[in-house]
Chain A
Amino acid sequence: MAKYIEMIRVRFLMMLAYRTNYYSGILIYSINIGAYYFLWTAIYGDKGSIEGMSVGQMTTYVAISWMARAFYFNNIDREIAQEIKEGKVAVEFIRPYHYLLMKMMQGLGEGIFRLSFFSVPGMLIVALIFPITFSVDVTTWLSFALAIIFSFIINTQINLLTGVLTFFFFNNAGLIQAKRVVIDLFSGLLIPISFFPMWAQDAMGFFPFQAISYIPSMIFTESFTGNEVMESLIFQGVWALLLIIPIQVLWVIAKKQLTVQGG
Chain B
Amino acid sequence: MKYTSIFFQYVAQYMKTRLTYRVDMVIEILSDLLFQAVNLIFILIVFGHTQLLGGWSRDEIIFIYGFFLVPFAIFGAFFNIWDFNERYIVKGEMDRILTRPIHSLFQIILERMELESLFGVFTGIGVMLYSASQLGLSFSWYDPFVFVVLVLGGVFVYAGIFVLLASISFWSDSPTSIMPMMYNIGNYGRYPVDIYNNVIRFVLTWILPFAFVGVYPSAYFLGREDWYGYAFLTPVMGLLFFGISVLVWNVGVTKYRGAGN
Q: Which residue of B lies closest to A47 (CB)?
A: B50
Contact status A196-B34, CB under 8 Å: no
Classify chain B's interface size.
Answer: 35 or more
Which one of B24, B49, B184, B200 contacts A38 once the chains associate, using CB atoms below 8 Å?
B200
Which one of A45, A181, A197 contacts B34 once the chains associate, using CB atoms below 8 Å?
A181
Provide the A225-255 mask, 1 if CB < 8 A to any CB of B, else 0: 0000000000000000000000000000000
Q: Which residue of B lies closest to A25 (CB)?
A: B177
Contact status A50-B184, CB under 8 Å: no
In the complex, what's the smallest C-beta–C-beta distance from B218 to chain A, in angstroms? 17
Q: Which residue of B lies closest to A172 (CB)?
A: B27
Contact status A39-B191, CB under 8 Å: yes
Contact status B24-A170, CB under 8 Å: yes
Contact status A20-B174, CB under 8 Å: yes
A219 CA to B160 CA, complexed, in Å:
43
Q: Which residues of A contact B188 (CB under 8 A)?
A: 35
A39 CA to B181 CA, complexed, in Å:
18
Contact status A181-B178, CB under 8 Å: no
A181 CA to B180 CA, complexed, in Å:
15
In the complex, what's the smallest C-beta–C-beta distance from A119 to chain B, in angstroms? 16
Contact status B196-A31, CB under 8 Å: no
Provide the A78-92 mask, 1 if CB < 8 A to any CB of B, else 0: 000000000000000
Provide the A36-62 mask, 1 if CB < 8 A to any CB of B, else 0: 001101111101001100000000000
Within 8 Å of chain A (Cβ to Cβ): is B176?
A: yes
Contacts A31-B185, A43-B50, A197-B48 hold; do A170 and B42 have CB atoms under 8 A apart? no
A128 CA to B133 CA, complexed, in Å:
44
Contact status B24-A178, CB under 8 Å: no
In the complex, what's the smallest C-beta–C-beta distance from A129 to chain B, in angstroms? 11
Classify chain A's interface size.
Answer: 35 or more
Contact status A38-B177, CB under 8 Å: no
Which one of B21, B53, B184, B196 contacts A43 once the chains associate, using CB atoms below 8 Å?
B53
Contact status B178-A24, CB under 8 Å: yes
Which one of B27, B176, B184 contacts A175 once the chains associate, using CB atoms below 8 Å?
B27
What total of A-B pairs shows CB separation below 8 Å?
91
A195 CA to B178 CA, complexed, in Å:
32
Contact status B181-A45, CB under 8 Å: no
Within 8 Å of chain A (Cβ to Cβ): is B23?
A: yes
Q: Which residues of A contact B31 (CB under 8 A)?
A: 174-175, 177-178, 181
Which one of A174, A182, A190 contacts B42 once the chains associate, using CB atoms below 8 Å?
A190
Q: Which residues of A contact B21 (CB under 8 A)?
A: 170-171
Which one of B24, B38, B48, B197 contacts A185 once the chains associate, using CB atoms below 8 Å?
B38
Q: Which residues of B contact A45 (CB under 8 A)?
A: 50, 52
Contacts A39-B195, A50-B49, A171-B24 hold; do A28 and B180 have CB atoms under 8 A apart? yes
Q: Which residues of A contact B197 (CB under 8 A)?
A: 38
Q: Which residue of A lies closest to B49 (CB)?
A: A50
A24 CA to B49 CA, complexed, in Å:
34
A172 CA to B111 CA, complexed, in Å:
22
Q: Which residue of A lies closest to B53 (CB)?
A: A42
Within 8 Å of chain B (Cβ to Cβ): is A32?
A: yes
Within 8 Å of chain A (Cβ to Cβ): is B45?
A: yes
Contact status B42-A35, CB under 8 Å: no
Within 8 Å of chain A (Cβ to Cβ): is B30?
A: yes
Within 8 Å of chain A (Cβ to Cβ): is B57?
A: no
Contact status B45-A181, CB under 8 Å: no
Within 8 Å of chain B (Cβ to Cβ): is A16?
A: no
Q: Which residue of B lies closest to A32 (CB)?
A: B184
Q: Which residue of B lies closest to A175 (CB)?
A: B27
Contact status A195-B176, CB under 8 Å: no
Q: Which residue of A lies closest to B28 (CB)?
A: A174
Within 8 Å of chain A (Cβ to Cβ): is B229?
A: no
Q: Which residue of A lies closest to B51 (CB)?
A: A45
Contacts A31-B184, A174-B31, A178-B34 hold; do A195 and B200 have CB atoms under 8 A apart? no
What are 22 A-to-B residue pairs whose CB atoms are below 8 Å? A20-B174, A24-B178, A25-B177, A28-B180, A31-B181, A31-B184, A32-B184, A35-B188, A38-B195, A38-B200, A45-B50, A45-B52, A47-B50, A50-B49, A170-B21, A170-B24, A174-B28, A178-B34, A181-B34, A181-B35, A182-B38, A196-B45
